[in-house]
Structure 1
Amino acid sequence: MKNNFKDGYFKWLYDNTQQFNINNNISRLTLPYLDRNNDCTEIFIKFDGNRYIITDDSETLSELYLSNFNLFSSKKRTTIFNQILLSHGVKKSDDDELYITCSKEELYQKIHLLTQCMIKISDLFYTAKNTVQSLFIEDVQLFLDKNDIRYSQNVSFSGISGLTTNYDFLIPKSKNAPERIIKVVNNIDQQQTNSILFLWNDTSQARKDYLSTLYVFLQDEGKKISSSIITSMNNYDVIPVMWSKREKFTKDLVK
């Protein structure tokens, strides 16, 4: 099963990705990564001289505005937004367009980073609910600080495929434990789980010497996480951490 995971993921991605050439210089790519409305992620690739511009055509932020969610009404959310852009190498135009400019050699890596960035920003919508008093990633950080767990933030690793993946926290190895890497997910679904597992497999294969372990913190307050998601993570030696049960993992993370 594990040996077929990479091939199966690439086949699924290829079979479910659509390309439409608008003209000789602009193409639209529809990828099977779903946002919070279960819509596929769309990006536009523009060829401009000897460089490429990859853009969401302002769709990510426009969709949030249409949902009456002003991302920039909160200093906290604005700070997190800017951190997400920085960690993925993405810029925002004055027209709220998220974009990356790159060479032909960097094109596919940058497509990967932009789509990750768009999904993460869309996920910030869930911080608008009245029941949410803080950003989930900040809650996780406070949990680490409270328990004196050492960490670095916003780390990126290249996998064996050449793709670079961003993770939220890194707990370095010690004499008592190997390297532990943390991904924080506010609103999980099965497709996002599959993407996390593929990217982690890609990352971990390139970091075999570190014996790295991935912990995925899942916000489960007021919601139920599907058992199939937990099973999928367990099958690939990824450790799901339900936020409501986070204290059970303190001893493993503090080592």
Structure 2
Amino acid sequence: MNTDKWINDYIQWMKTKYSIKSFDDGDEIMTPFTNIIGDRIAIYVSQIDDNEIQLSDDGNTLNDLVLLGIDINSNVRLRIIKDILQSFKVQLTSDQVLKINGKKEDFPIMKQSLIQTILRIDDLLMTRKSNVKNLFFEDVMSYFDDKEFKGLPNYPVTGGSGNTYKISYAIGKSKSRPLQLIQILNNADFQRISAEIVTFEDLRGNIDYKKNNMNYSVVFNDIDNSISDKTKNIAQIRGLDIIPWSNKETILKLRN
């Protein structure tokens, strides 16, 4: 096998796929790699001093995600971005520009680090689709931790029928408040809310909850999924407390 030749051929092919455009304040390097919208990834090189240069994406990476409807300021996504930046030693400026500074001789490593960072952050587009359910749950859990709700996740409860249920989050009762159960839903459609009503009514049939009182609330993702008037109406008629994720003021009241 002539692997060395294949590698050399690949390197030569890669070189033909790069193009450079010069500006007064630096150069634009068009790479053969493509971003989430199918465009070739551009990186920008500027000179800081005689020995140091800066590479950046000019803010394009995160701006593209925002334009595609990704909330890059959610707790979970911010944590993912932070981990990626730390892995490749890339910085994020206050105006959402990815950049890396270093010596001229380190250009190959710097370029590779920035490209890898851009490609990894581009993968956040997938969180709008296949992983959004888990991400939303983690987002809410992170918020509860930050705001010191001091509850327990995946709390098991038993209904009056004897059926057991697992509730997303529970805050224990105290002298001044009853047990607070919080179910977290990514998609609060009519079918899912109807199922939560059945759970809620079964729990109210448990004599222990009747005696000691219990609050049951549903926090749902209204950022990525809308809720119909039909669904809101059935929840209101049956006394189920549903709270949109965007209404943080009401959610905060659940911890008191």
TM-score in terms of structure 1 length: 0.49
Rg larger in 1 or in 2?
2
TM-score in terms of structure 2 length: 0.49
